[in-house]
Structures are given as C-alpha cells and as structure tokens.
C-alpha cells in the first residue's frame, strides 16, 4: 500500500514486495522472449525472427512486446550484447587459466587453444554467431552499449598479441594490427565456412574444422623470429 503522510509518500512492505514480484515477472518474460528469439534464429535464420511470432510463442498480442523491448532491433541488440559478453567472459577465464605470456611460452599451442575455444563457442551458438560475426540485417547496427563487450574483447586480443612481441616470441618488427587482422580473418572465415556448409555439426565432427590446427599454425609461424 502506498499513501501520503505529512506530505511524504509512505510505501509499505506489501508495496515493496509487489514491486519486486512485478520486476521478477518482467525479467522472466524478457528471458523467455530471448530464449524464443534464439530458437527461431537457430532454425530459421536472423531474418526469420518476427515480433508476431515472438508474441505468439509467449501468448500475448504483438503490441504487448513493447513492454519488454521497444523494437525488434532492441531484441537484436540484447542478443548481440549477450553473445559478446559471454564470449568475453569465456576468453578471460581461458587466458587466466593459461597464465601470462613469457619467453618460454609455446606460442603455437597457445594460439591454437585460444582460437579453437573461440570457434567452438560460435559453432555451438549459431543464432548468436549470425549477429556477432556477420551483418545479416541491412538496417541494423548494434548500439554502443550492445557493442561495448565486443570492443573490450578486441582490446584484450590486441593486448595478447602485443605481449607476444614484448616477450620476444614474434619478430620485433611485427605489425600487431596486421597480426590481429590475420588471426581474426582466419577464425571468422573458418567459422563462416563451417556454419554455411556444415551447420549444426560440432567442431570435432566438422568438415572444415579438422584443418584449423594447420591453418593457425601457419599463420603464427609466419611471424616467429
């Protein structure tokens, strides 16, 4: 119950609990919408996602969705943000487990482990990968907030490659931007081919993924002293 006492609004515990329940229901419905969006995009592609289908799946009329997302692009934004945030968290945990780069680091083995983990992640989440790696929606770009985890991921990758040079593991004249671009282009290209030509197949059973170790090894070795 809410009432005014002495010119001030008084909120009772019942009102607080009601607000908490309402907030919890709102959050739960948002999660349900996201789950259905991932399912639709996973089977019908990004362009197969419609607000009318999302509304049908959660049992409401289409205008009711605007209570949770103000547009279909807002749904794309949230998926993009979540995908990159999860990728970022996964990458940080892996790098922490591997430890810092040093003069004795096996650079080929490290690069293979980090990049393979990235490829595995995207192949296991094709709905997210469509938004994160490609531009399937001509009139949509992620908002700065949604793009922020991707920027942080790119910065960490650049720091990783810079540490290779600082540790003397690659040539002193190595262009870090070029090294970054080569590895990103290779991983994205491999992921794209696998998703396009062998969709739904796990990394270990893929048509193209068996050749990844040879490709990343060749790229890394081309920069060794």
162-220 pLDDT, tens digit each = 999 999 999 999 999 999 999 999 999 999 999 999 888 999 999 999 999 999 999 99
69-95 pLDDT, tens digit each = 999 999 999 999 999 999 999 999 999
**Number of other residues whose CB lies within 10 A of the CB of residue 25:** 10
User: What is the spatial distance between Cα 121 and Cα 129, in angstroms, rounded to a whole number?
Assistant: 9
pLDDT(14) > 60: no
Write the burial class of residue 7 (CB in 10 Å: 0-12 exposed, 13-18 middle, 19+ buried): exposed
- What pLDDT, on a 0 to 100 scale, did the predictor assign at position 45? 86
For tokens 């790098």, name the residue. 95
Q: DSSP code of 199?
A: T
Q: Please report how many Cα atoms fall inside a 13 Å half-sphere around the Cα of residue 145, on the Cβ side.
A: 5
Average pLDDT over residues 133-141: 88
* Global confidence as pTM: 0.85
Six token digits for residue 175: 């262009």
pLDDT band at 18 (very low <50, low <70, confident <90, very high): low
**Number of other residues whose CB lies within 10 A of the CB of residue 82:** 18
């Amino acid at each position: 119950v809410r009432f005014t006492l002495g010119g001030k609004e008084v909120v009772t515990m019942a009102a607080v609990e009601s607000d908490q329940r309402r907030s919890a229901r709102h959050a739960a419905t948002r999660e349900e919408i996201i789950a259905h969006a991932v399912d639709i995009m996973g089977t019908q592609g990004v362009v197969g996602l419609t607000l009318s289908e999302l509304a049908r799946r959660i049992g409401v009329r289409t205008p009711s969705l605007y209570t949770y997302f103000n547009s279909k692009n807002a749904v794309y934004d949230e998926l993009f943000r979540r995908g990159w945030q999860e990728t970022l968290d996964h990458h940080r945990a892996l790098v922490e487990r591997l430890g810092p780069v040093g003069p004795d680091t096996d650079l080929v083995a490290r690069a293979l482990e980090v990049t393979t983990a990235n490829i595995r992640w995207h192949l296991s989440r094709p709905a997210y990968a469509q938004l994160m790696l490609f531009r399937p929606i001509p009139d949509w770009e992620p908002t700065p907030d949604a793009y922020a985890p991707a920027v942080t991921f790119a910065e960490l990758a650049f720091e990783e490659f810079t540490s290779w040079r600082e540790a003397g593991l690659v040539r002193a004249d190595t262009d870090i931007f070029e090294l970054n671009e080569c590895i990103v282009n290779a991983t994205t290209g491999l992921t794209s081919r696998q998703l396009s030509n062998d969709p739904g197949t796990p990394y270990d059973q893929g048509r193209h993924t068996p050749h990844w170790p040879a490709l990343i090894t060749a790229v890394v070795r081309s920069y060794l002293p």
